[in-house]
Every structure is written in structure tokens, then in C-alpha cells.
Amino acid sequence: MLKGNLLIPEKAKSIILFSHGGVGGRFSSRNRVVANDLNKNNVGTLLFDLLTPDEDICSYSRLDIGLLADRLIAATEWLKEQEHADGCRLAYFGASTGAAAALKAAVYLPWIAAVVSRGGRPDLAMEVLEEVESPTLLMVGSQDNEILKLNEKAYALMNCEKRLEVISGATHLFEEPGKMNEVAKMTYAWFEKYILSQPVHQDKIIQE
């Protein structure tokens, strides 16, 4: 049983699942900045933990990309069946090892509309990167040198619509003033281009 927070604005045409490698991702202030911006623009969000508290005690679990991807796939399939999500397109926002899980899940579910990675580890999904079809945005801080190199290697393997954005002056956690706001704006712009600008199935149902 995984805990999460699901918010679907009445006029939502899409829902973004947040993929975070450990417990507490649904409470992350950085994830909340992005989620709040999406919600204000009538985009739904599901922030949840891919691991239980007991599993999170072991650092190995946070690096088990197969396990994380399986949990994300299960959550995606659950969300797809929810009445309030009817007709909504689904996409992923991943951070750290959760980004690798998002890319791996997107290969299994090629109808995922788009993927965004913030300071992620797409290199941990190297074996499937060539198969990713979902338009993918990788965002890395310019001061996050090692992660930037890993993202560049991963980016070179991808054949889908893609972009690598280097956030000037940002470190791994994007704690510098204004940097998470930049991430939020770029995230919304990516989803707007590949999800929100597309027509939604006419059978979408929204209830109070």
C-alpha cells in the first residue's frame, strides 16, 4: 500500500505523476513548487511514495530501478481507472532515481504523453533509453557537474523528441533563489507543448 496525494482540477485535461526515488517525495517542497504551478494551470498531479517506510530504510531499494518502475506502472494503471481521471492524458515528472523509473515505465507504457526529469539519473535506465518514445525534457543544474555528465550521456542515446536544459547557477537540489521557479516554468511549457495543446477525448467526465 503506497500513500499519495491526488489533486485533479475541475478543468484538468492531463495528470502528472511524480516519480520520486524514496519516501517523502509527496511532501518535498521542490516537488510542491512544480505541482502547485501545474495545479494553477488546471493540470492534475499525483504525488506519492514509490517505497514503503520500511523499504526506504535500505538504500538499495532506492536504487532498484526495476522495482520503482513497477510501482510507477501500477500507480499509472490504477490512476487510469479512476473516474475523475477519465479522458485525461498522463505524463511523468521524475527526480533523482525516480527519473530513471519514469523513463523505464514510459517504455512499458508508450502512450505516456511526456516525461520531465529534474536533476535525475536517466543513466540508470541506459538499457532502455533508445526505446523511449515519450517526448523527454532533462533539466540539470549547471553546478551539478557529475549529474550533468551522466545526463549528457543518457541524452545522446535517446531517439525521441528531447531537450537537455542546463539551469544556470543551480546545484543538484536547485536550492538557489528562483531556480525551482525556473524548473516549474520549463516543466509546464514542456507539458503544454506535448499534452495541453492536443485535443482531449470527448468522453472526459468531471464530477464535483
Helix (H) / strand (E) containing 140: strand 136-141
Burial class (CB in 10 A: 0-12, 13-18, 19+), 161: middle
Interval 46-86: pLDDT, tens: 999 888 877 767 666 667 899 999 999 999 999 999 999 99
Residue 202 is assigned to a structural domain of this protein: no
CA 191 to chain centre: 11
How far is it, in rounded angstroms, from Cα 169 to Cα 25?
A: 24
Q: How many domains does the chain fold into?
A: 1
Residue 81 is assigned to a structural domain of this protein: yes
pLDDT at residue 199 greater than cutoff 90: no
Residue 42 is assigned to a structural domain of this protein: yes
Residue 175 is assigned to a structural domain of this protein: yes
What's the pLDDT score for residue 14?
Answer: 96
- When pLDDT is averaged across residues 179-183 and rounded to a whole number, the result is 97
What crossing angle do the helices spanning 29-40 and 179-191 adopt, rounded to 10°? 40
Helix (H) / strand (E) containing 184: helix 179-191
Under DSSP, is residue 44 helix (H, G, I), strand (E, B) or coil? strand
DSSP state letter for 200:
P
pTM above 0.85, yes or no: yes
Under DSSP, is residue 49 helix (H, G, I), strand (E, B) or coil? coil
DSSP state letter for 133:
-
Residue 133 is assigned to a structural domain of this protein: yes
How far is it, in rounded angstroms, from Cα 43 to Cα 196?
A: 9
DSSP-H helix ranges across the chain:
29-40, 53-56, 59-62, 65-80, 97-108, 145-157, 179-191
How far is it, in rounded angstroms, from Cα 97 to Cα 120?
A: 6
Give the rounded percent of residues in the chain with a pLDDT score beyond 90.
78
- When pLDDT is averaged across residues 121-138 and rounded to a whole number, the result is 97
User: Greatest CA separation found in the chain?
Assistant: 47
Interval 86-118: pLDDT, tens: 999 999 999 999 999 999 999 999 999 999 999
The candidate with the shortest Cα–Cα distance to 123, out of 142, 109, 138, 113, is 138
Residue 206 is assigned to a structural domain of this protein: no
Lowest-pLDDT choice from 146-150, 158-162, 193-197: 193-197
Across all residues in the chain, what is the average pLDDT?
A: 90
What's the pLDDT score for residue 107?
Answer: 98
111 — phi, psi (to 5°)?
A: -85, 0
Residue 208 is assigned to a structural domain of this protein: no
pLDDT band at 26 (very low <50, low <70, confident <90, very high): confident
CATH number, domain at 106?
A: 3.40.50.1820
Ramachandran region, residue 19 (left: φ > 0; alpha: ψ -120 to 50; beta: rest) = beta
- When pLDDT is averaged across residues 139-146 and rounded to a whole number, the result is 97
Residue 205 is assigned to a structural domain of this protein: no
pLDDT band at 198 (very low <50, low <70, confident <90, very high): low
Q: Domain range holding 95? A: 4-196
Q: Cα separations (Å) of 13 from 38, 45, 136?
A: 12, 11, 19
What's the pLDDT score for residue 102?
Answer: 97
Whether residue 10 contacts residue 38, with contact meaning beta carbons closer than 8 Å, is answered with: no
What's the pLDDT score for residue 59?
Answer: 67
What's the pLDDT score for residue 141?
Answer: 97
